[in-house]
Amino acid sequence: MSTHTEEIVDDYKPFNTDEIDTFQATRKVTLKTFRFNAETDYLPYYKHYEMEVGKDELILDLLNRIKWEHDGSFSYRRSCRHGICGACAIKVNGKATLACKQNAIELIELFGDELLIEPSSTKRAIKDMIIDKSDFWEKHAAVKPYVVSDVEARPKTESKQSIAEFNNFLDSDLCIQCGACHYSCPALEVNDAFLGPAALNAAYRFTVDTRDEAGDERLKITAEQGSGVWDCVKCFECAEACPKEINPIEKIGKLHNLQFVRGVAKSNVATRHAEGFLRGMKKSGYLDEADIVTYSEGYLGVYKHLGTALKMMKTGKIHWHSGIPFINSIPKIKNLDEVQKLIEISQTNKL
């Protein structure tokens, strides 16, 4: 070991000090963190962890610091740290968050200096951030999320996809099965049978693959009332939640259209509700609010709405003649003939 010492005169300053301060500025944050161990705890509870957070830290770094600096028993899933394995999806203040992709300061700016750290679905928690995702995988498997094709064992030619064919399913193929959309879906929270945005996105992915032969079967599965596309509430939570920007609800919309394009759609309350908009539009340009209910439900099914209809009549929201053909006098738009003509020449689907 050298004993030689040298006085180093360091007068070189790469930044002025103010700049360095800004650069290294940290924010103090309290992490109100969901804790639960299904094996030992009767109920979940929340623990508060305080820390200084730097500008480059990700939510995953904060989870690591809870474990490494505060409590080694704190549990969460993590693997790739590159937004590709989908393991670390959690919720922060109710916002679906892929922990390894989300900058922490951004969320502090959005929600303030207390962040609520919870698993994707608190009711499915096994240990802290770790949840039982079996419902997610069951629904995923239910839509046949693979190419169904009778391929020869030794094919003589390649099964190629053109760029256009590939682009059909490109973004839906980017799904990392993190469950962010699935556990942000309010329809699923209420209706256990609903397939949910991730499974429906997968159904779309393989249905539009030109090598696949199970499209109609998948469309029938996803057209089922109670579990399929018609139970989507159109809230766009999934579009917002997806860390890969897939926009699952857009794919749900395409599945709706495909039912009609490929003639899989059956006449029921949901399909008539979609197609029935045209009835009013052809007559007045507007949706006919009373007609859409009678037409969708059928005259026998409409009794369910009589109570509501009477209340609406009483306050003048609807008129006594609403829903009665020929007398019903909803207003008409100007230049109604244009709408009629455009429907005639642009309609591509039929029920």
Partner 1 sequence: MSEQLHYALFTGCTAKQSTPELLSSTLAVADKLGIKITILEEASCCGASHLQDFDEFLAHVLNARNICYAEKLGLTMITICNTCQLNSAMTKHALDKDPELKARVNEKLAEVGLEYKGTSEIKHFLYTLIDEYGVENIKDKVEVPLSHLNIAPFYGCHNIRPSELHEEANGHENPYNPTSLDNLIDALEGNPVNYESKNKCCGFHVELQANHTSEVLAGNALLDAVDNNADMMVTPCPLCHLKMDTYQDSIGEVMGRDVELPVLHMPQMVALALGCSEKEIGLNFHVQKAAHLYSQAS
DSSP β-ladder status, 130-131 and 89-92: unpaired
Shortest distance (Å) from residue 287 CB to partner 1:
4
* Per-position b or e across 255-269, b if 16+ CB within 10 A of its CB: bbebbbeeebbeeee
Q: How far is 290 from 279, CA to CA, in rounded Å?
A: 11
The 3-state DSSP class for residue 181 equals: coil
Shortest distance, position 247 Cβ to partner 1, whole Å: 7
In the complex, least distance from residue 115 CB atom to partner 1, rounded to whole angstroms = 12
CB of 280 to partner 1, least distance (A): 7
Q: Give the C-alpha separation, 7 to 311, whole Å.
A: 90
Strands ordered across the beta sheet of 27-35? 45-53, 27-35, 114-119, 89-92, 95-98
User: Judged by CB, which is closer to partner 1: 94, or 263?
Assistant: 94
- Residues facing 33 on adjacent strands: 47, 117
Indicate the residue among 159 and 257 with the shorter CB distance to partner 1. 257
In the complex with partner 1, the residue whose CB is nearer, 57 or 237, is: 237
Nearer of residues 157 and 348 to partner 1, judged by Cβ: 348
Identify whether the C-beta of residue 122 lies closer than 8 Å to the C-beta of residue 34. yes
Beta carbon nearer to partner 1, 75 or 288: 288
- Residue 271 CB, shortest distance to partner 1, in Å, is 8
Residue whose CB is less far from partner 1, 75 or 227: 227
Question: Distance (Å, rounded) from C-alpha 175 to C-alpha 327?
Answer: 52
Hey, what amino acid is at 42? Answer: Y
Min dist CB 278 to partner 1, Å, is 7
